């Protein structure tokens, strides 16, 4: 980065170098495979020998991906890191090194940026992710946060989107729709309760909001499936089931059929749907940011995968199957009728997003 533009205004409340020193001291990587972390012109790493690198990056723009009037710095940091961890989970990898670049508008304090990192590291530390560097710039308008996460995997232990075969079973971890319900509760988009006095319990509300703000990346599940070669393809659910299933189908040149009645719903999501007259299956199909894993499994591995699932700390539900590309993406409704799947996921640069 050319230094002329990269320095934060010293007249502002933040100065670039004290900020980096503070972040390095509190959150910087030491030891393990990081020979040099924050402090030199580039980080020096020694990855486990024979491993491949998996690299994922996300750019978050204020007003597009997060809103500082409704989310805390801690929550924004946690979720940004969780989204990247979830990408590594979907590839079956081990997350290892994190780079964080920021463009910070005037008016923010070092304490706020520290909270952002605290959130990121609270998502990453349980998985031993190490902060190894980044870049810091001022911004004329809005906060920008870029995370780059490197993971590693054995060459023959990698999950991709492209291996699904006709006849494979579709499985999903955890429950779906919770995050969208939580978002609607946070933003007031839930509407009024069906009847006066029908309201959601405090616990259910808290659960759904928590699922939106602090999703759990399914790393152990992804790694186990990869290691035992139990999945023919995998993706994490960031855009929503219908959108992400489309990605698997496109990459695998296949179609899929989802059985609506088998979509896993949490008790809180069902209560929410009842209180606010939402279709819980629609929430599950369209809702984004659940960060669960969607995987395809050959029928010959059905028993094995379901046996392994007992050791997961989340549910694993069979929700359909892969079919020929010609048959496309279809849904079996609760009444047994079959129809084409409507794809409802957020797309940037389109005049109108089809959901949210
Ligand atoms: P350069 O000008 O060579 O890019 P910098 O002064 O930007 O170097 O960075 C110095 C060190 O601090 C580097 O190790 C870099 O990776 C790290 N760093 C800079 N900004 C951040 C940040 N926001 N978070 C974490 N590490 C950072
Ligand atoms: Mg720099």
Cβ contact 120:80 at 8 Å: yes
pLDDT at 352 over 80: no
Cα–Cα distance measured from residue 260 to residue 244, given in angstroms and rounded to the nearest whole number:
16
pLDDT confidence tier of residue 355, bands split at 50, 70 and 90: very low
Query: What is the distance between the alpha carbons of residues 315 and 306, in angstroms, rounded to a whole number?
Result: 10
pLDDT value of residue 111: 95
Region 293-306 average pLDDT: 97
In this prediction, residues 284-305 reach a mean pLDDT of: 96
Residues 113-130 pLDDT 10s: 999 999 999 999 999 999
- Cα–Cα distance for residue pair 283/267, rounded to 1 Å: 13
With 0-12 CB in 10 A as exposed, 13-18 as middle and 19+ as buried, what is 44?
exposed
Q: Is-contact 119 271, C-beta < 8 A? A: no
pLDDT (tens digit per residue) in 167-202: 999 999 999 999 999 999 998 887 777 666 567 999
- Give the percent of the chain with pLDDT over 70: 90
Of the bound ligands, which one is closest to the alpha carbon of residue 3? 1
Average pLDDT over every residue of 215-239? 97
Residue 122 Cα to ligand 2 midpoint, Å, equals 24
Structure tokens at 293: 């894993």
d(CA 286, CA 29): 38
Mean pLDDT, the chain, integer = 91
CA distances for 15 relative to 11, 109, 177, 283, angstroms: 8, 9, 42, 44
Q: How many CB atoms lie within 10 A of CB 231?
A: 27
Residue 88 has pLDDT above 80, yes or no: yes
Output the CA 356–ligand 1 centroid distance in Å.
Answer: 36
Looking at the predicted structure, is the pLDDT value of residue 86 above 90? Answer: yes
Q: Answer yes or no: is pLDDT of 278 > 50.
A: yes
DSSP conformation class of 166: T
How many whole angstroms separate alpha carbon 280 and alpha carbon 271? 9
Phi, psi angle pair for 176, to nearest 5°: -115, 150
pTM, rounded to two decimals: 0.91
| Nearest CA, atom 1, ligand 1 | 41
Give the model's confidence band at 353: pLDDT under 50 very low, under 70 low, under 90 confident, else very high: very low
pLDDT of residue 347: 63
Task: Using a CB cutoff of 5 Å, list residues around ligand 2, an ion.
Answer: 1, 135
Say what the pLDDT of residue 242 is.
94
Q: Which atom of ligand 1 is nearest to the CA of 40?
A: 14
Which residues sit with their C-beta closer than 6 Å to ligand 1? 1, 20, 23, 38-41, 100, 102, 133-136
The residue that leads in pLDDT, 341 or 78, is 78
**Residue-wise pLDDT tens digits, 2-61:** 555 445 654 446 888 889 999 999 999 866 689 999 999 999 998 888 999 999 999 999
Q: At residue 343, does pLDDT exceed 70?
A: no
| Residue 252 pLDDT exceeds 80 | yes
């Amino acid at each position: 980065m050319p230094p002329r533009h990269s320095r934060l205004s010293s007249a502002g409340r933040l100065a670039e170098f004290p900020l980096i020193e503070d972040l390095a001291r509190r959150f910087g990587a030491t030891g393990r495979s990081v020979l040099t972390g924050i402090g030199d012109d580039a980080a020096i790493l020694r990855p486990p020998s024979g491993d491949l690198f998996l690299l994922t990056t996300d750019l978050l723009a204020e007003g597009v991906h997060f809103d500082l009037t409704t989310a805390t710095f801690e929550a924004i940091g946690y979720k940004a890191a969780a989204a990247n961890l979830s990408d590594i989970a979907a590839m079956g990898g081990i997350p290892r090194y994190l780079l964080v670049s920021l463009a910070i508008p005037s008016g923010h304090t070092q304490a706020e940026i520290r909270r952002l990192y605290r959130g990121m590291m609270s998502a990453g530390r349980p998985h031993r992710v190490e902060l190894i560097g980044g870049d810091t710039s001022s911004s004329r308008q809005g906060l920008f946060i870029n995370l780059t996460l490197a993971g590693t995997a054995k060459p023959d232990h990698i999950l991709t989107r492209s291996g699904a075969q006709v006849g494979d079973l579709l499985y999903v971890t955890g429950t779906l729709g919770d995050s969208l319900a939580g978002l609607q509760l946070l933003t007031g988009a839930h509407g009024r309760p069906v009847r006066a006095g029908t309201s959601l319990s405090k616990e259910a509300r808290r659960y759904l909001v928590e699922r939106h703000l602090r999703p759990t990346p399914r790393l152990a599940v992804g790694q186990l499936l990869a290691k035992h070669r139990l999945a023919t393809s995998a993706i994490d659910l960031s855009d929503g089931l219908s959108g992400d299933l489309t990605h698997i189908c496109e990459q695998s040149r296949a179609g899929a059929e989802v059985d609506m009645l088998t979509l896993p719903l949490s008790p809180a999501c069902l209560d929410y749907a009842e209180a606010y007259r939402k279709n819980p299956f629609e929430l599950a199909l369209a809702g984004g940011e659940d960060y669960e894993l969607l995987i395809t499994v050959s029928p010959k591995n059905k028993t094995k995968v379901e046996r392994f699932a007992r050791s997961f700390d989340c549910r694993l539900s069979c929700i359909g199957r892969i079919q020929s590309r010609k048959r496309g993406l279809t849904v079996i409704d609760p009444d047994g009728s079959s129809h084409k799947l409507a794809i409802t996921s957020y797309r940037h640069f389109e005049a109108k997003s089809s959901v949210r």
